[in-house]
Amino acid sequence: MKKQAWQLEREYRDAAIPVDRRVASSNWQQGVEFPHGDALLRWYWNIKVPGSLAPDVFFQGMVQDWANQGYDVSEAEVLIPEGRALEAAGKIEELRVISARIMKALKDAPKIEGHPYHSYEHPSTWEDVKAAMPASTGYQPLSGRMNDYPHRIYHGWLGQLAGGSFGTVLEGYIGTQIAKIYGEVRGYITTPETINDDVVYELLLLDVYEKMGKSITSEALGDEWIRKLPFGVSAEGVALRNLNLGIYPPESGSFLNPYCDWIGAQMRGMVCGMLAPGDPLEAARLAHIDAVISHARNGIYGEIYAAVLTALAFVLDDSRAIVVEGARYIPARSEYAAKLAFCLDVVRSTDDPSVAWGKLDKHFERYNWIHAYPNLAADVLALWYGHGDFTETMSLLARAGYDVDCNGGLVGNVLGLIRDVPREWAEPLGDLLETYIKGKERLSIKAIAEMTSRLAEKSYSK
């Protein structure tokens, strides 16, 4: 019996054994030279994730996600095993054809009538998104610990970079396999490296925001992507291709983008929350401006949720309260809202995080490890049962697995805003953030935090 794309991916993920980074070096810098041509094509069929060396098959993932969006992908699914075999055999000419055939099959795939995805409402413009939020009615910015937010922003950045560095060597693996190699993970596995493909988008947004302030636009930010980004991965890669073809936001995030519901926007919304301390609706607006460049529908709502959690962390010091309040800023009839509600129902139903994760993991088994939903579940799990303790919260993320660096970045930022990042997590970072953006190869974390604080203060005072 032919297996569906999600089944192929789940079996592939369950079987992936982590490369022990304690004995096998894998500096992220070695993966910065992005492949081109046939090398890029093969990479999309046989990825080794920089940092963790987790295996992945992006063609398999794109078919899986198109199915999650309610399309009949049966024609594309039957080609996946053949494509993997061709890549393994190095038959490049045939691989080019099978890859194109899969893309054509996805482009032509018919919608499945009655599929649950099509029963939800997914407003797209900011005004429609805002109108669909329960919190938008009678909205007033919150108030609270605003007098110390420059200090809070610094620890927010520290928390984000600590969590991202922690997760870089774990991403792409499931929690049970992580535990087989590392046991219970409660700290850095290797000397932390701050370089990855998550933070760069936030830095570009900061640069454009410095020039434009609250008048920042998706189009201007898209220009900065074209100007500065040497490459993009999954949804961001498609968006960069679209931008260079003259397809600007919001179409750049939706046009032929099978990854538009993935985590790429959700992983970078924290800077929007830090630019709008205590003002979750403004954080959501900024997140929408950023997210439409590379995502659509639920992928956009993922960045909104990340931004809102961050903005709320300036004024609420209970991670559970933040998670619950943040749900009010998601369009009520969207699929993202439904999945978030399910996550909250699960964690409210038990005091045992292992029981909760078993239910969550089963519910989201049809989704790719980079999709927004299973990682949303991991974020909710960690913030709910971690009780604000940085080490315990990170340990919960490792027990869940999946996109651990993205999740660590979001959750770490929220915790850093609530209270200072513990020394054992902050000090190994020093004051260094490394990126692959030309002119930003080595940055001061303190300087980035000061810039963020200055921009937030300037906007907040108006």
Of 89, 119, 149, which residue is a domain's last? 119
Domain boundary among 70, 85, 119: 119
> Could you give the CA distance from residue 6 to residue 250 in angstroms, rounded to a whole number?
28
Six-digit token pair at 102?
């899969």
Which is nearest to 169 in space by CA: 190, 198, 185, 186? 190
Per-residue pLDDT at 129: 98
Same domain? 133 vs 115: no
The domain boundary, picked from 67, 102, 119, lies at: 119
Query: Structurally, how many domains does the chain consist of?
Result: 2
Q: What is the CATH number of the domain that holds 175?
A: 1.10.4080.10
- Residue-by-residue DSSP string for 227-281: HH-S---THHHHHHHHHHTT--TTHHHHTT-TTTTBTTTGGGTHHHHHTSTT-HH
Q: How far apart are CA 135 and CA 409, in angstroms?
A: 25
Q: Does one domain contain both 102 and 173?
A: no
Q: How crowded is residue 416: how many other Cβ atoms within 10 Å of its Cβ? A: 29
pLDDT 10s digits, 142-186: 765 556 889 999 999 999 999 999 999 999 999 999 999 999 999
Instruction: For residues 111 and 148, state if they share a domain.
Output: no
Q: In this structure, what are the phi and psi dihedrals at residue 401, rounded to the nearest 5 degrees? A: 85, -155
Cβ atoms 151, 403 nearer than 8 A: no
Distance of CA 427 to the CA centre of its chain: 25
Considering the domain architecture, whether residues 290 and 417 belong to the same structural domain is answered as yes
Amino acid at 427: E
Residue 213, phi-psi category: left (phi > 0), alpha (psi -120 to 50), beta (remainder): left
Residue type, 29: Q
- Which residues form the domain of 456? 128-460
146-180 core/surface letters (b: 16 or more CB in 10 A; e: else): eeebeebbbbbbbbbbbbbbbbbbbbbbbbebbbe
Q: Is 297 within 8 Å of 95 (Cβ atoms)? A: no
Query: E strands, 16-148, where?
Result: 47-48, 55-56
Shared domain for 133 and 235, answered yes or no, is yes
Average pLDDT score over the chain: 94
The Cα-based distances of 457 to 207, 210, 253, 283, 382 in angstroms read: 16, 12, 30, 14, 30
Which two structure tokens, joined as six digits, stand for 79? 């080609």
Output the tens digit of pLDDT for each of the chain's 462 residues: 688 999 999 999 999 999 998 876 555 555 456 778 899 999 999 999 988 999 999 999 999 999 999 999 999 999 999 999 999 999 999 999 999 999 999 999 999 999 999 999 999 999 999 999 999 888 877 765 556 889 999 999 999 999 999 999 999 999 999 999 999 999 999 999 888 888 999 999 999 999 999 999 999 999 999 999 998 999 999 999 999 999 999 999 999 999 999 999 999 999 999 999 999 999 999 999 999 999 999 999 999 999 999 999 999 999 999 999 999 999 999 999 999 999 999 999 999 999 999 999 999 999 999 999 999 999 999 999 999 999 999 999 999 999 999 999 999 999 999 999 999 999 999 999 999 999 999 999 999 999 999 999 877 655
Question: Is the separation of the CB atoms in 448 and 432 below 8 Å?
Answer: no
- Residues near 433 by Cβ (< 8 Å), separated by ≥ 6? 161, 194, 195, 199, 442, 443, 444, 445, 448
Provide the residue type at 315 as one letter. V
Same domain, 159 and 77: no
177 and 305 share one domain = yes
Per-residue confidence (pLDDT) for residue 196, from 0 to 100: 82
Q: Alpha-carbon distance 451 to 449, whole Å?
A: 5
Residues 360 and 431 placed together within one structural domain of the fold: yes
Do 310 and 339 share a domain, yes or no? Answer: yes
Residues 42 and 161 occupy one common structural domain: no
- 99 and 241 share a domain? no
97 shares a domain with 160: no
